[in-house]
Amino acid sequence: MTENKGLSYVAFMSIIDSMEEIIGINGKNAILRYTGFEKLIGNPLEYTTEKRMTVEDGHKLYMGIREIIGNKGYNPLMYRGGILTTKNVLSHSEGLRALADLEGDALEKLNQLYSAYIYTIGLKPEDVMEFNTEKKEILIHRRPSCNECDFVLKRKDMLEEIKRPGCANVLAAVYSVGNLRPDLVTVEADEIKCSLIGDDECLFRAVYEIK
């Protein structure tokens, strides 16, 4: 099986936590059974930055959520999962906490935080991140592929129902990473291109405001 540097155990478990928050314990357990993760039912969720989840297991969970609760239900659940992922990674990673706590210029801090995030998803900041100081925006390209939606592109029945960008988990990460230092800068984030609606890539924009 393929290892995904971006889908850590922390991210995987955070999504499972978001299930219970959004659809309750019975809904969470139904998805875990449906996707073959019964061993997680009733057991404490493990949070560690040292382990990685396979691409196949991540896709299995994502697709199970879409199939059980539909595309409309998928977005709020996965967005919450992305918010929890950033929170939990911050709690369990001394390196990220130290980086977030460092003092410095607000733009440099954003650069550092987004660069750290991009490295964790297996990409290089110089390849996928653009700073536009005139527009006060940062663009993050998910190319040539986006793990959150690639597997959905094979399902024409699902694609017909999707009318707007649908990479909610990544969008939440872009938002929450940018807001780790609200004393220096705040960020609003949106997904302006998405493969699920026929675009050539998934493209995320973070618009920042310096304090």
CB atoms under 10 Å from CB of 179, counted, come to 18
User: What is the per-residue pLDDT for 178?
Assistant: 95
Place of tokens 């220096």: 184
What is the per-residue pLDDT for 3? 45
Task: Give me the chain's average pLDDT, please.
Answer: 89
Structure tokens at 123: 């990409």
Q: Do 28 and 82 touch, CB atoms closer than 8 A?
A: no
Report CA 172 to chain centroid distance, whole Å.
6
- Residue 131, Cβ neighbours under 10 Å: how many? 16
Q: What is the pLDDT of residue 7?
A: 53
Domains present along the chain, CATH in parentheses:
3-210 (3.90.1520.10)
74-124: per-residue pLDDT in tens? 999 999 999 999 998 888 778 788 888 888 899 999 999 999 888 878 889
Residue 147 to residue 151: CA distance in whole angstroms = 8
Give the phi and the psi of residue 64 in degrees, each rounded to 5.
Answer: -60, -40
pTM, full prediction? 0.90
Question: Per-residue pLDDT tens for 130-171?
Answer: 999 999 999 999 977 788 888 898 888 889 889 999 999 999
CA–CA dist 181, 86 (Å, integer): 13
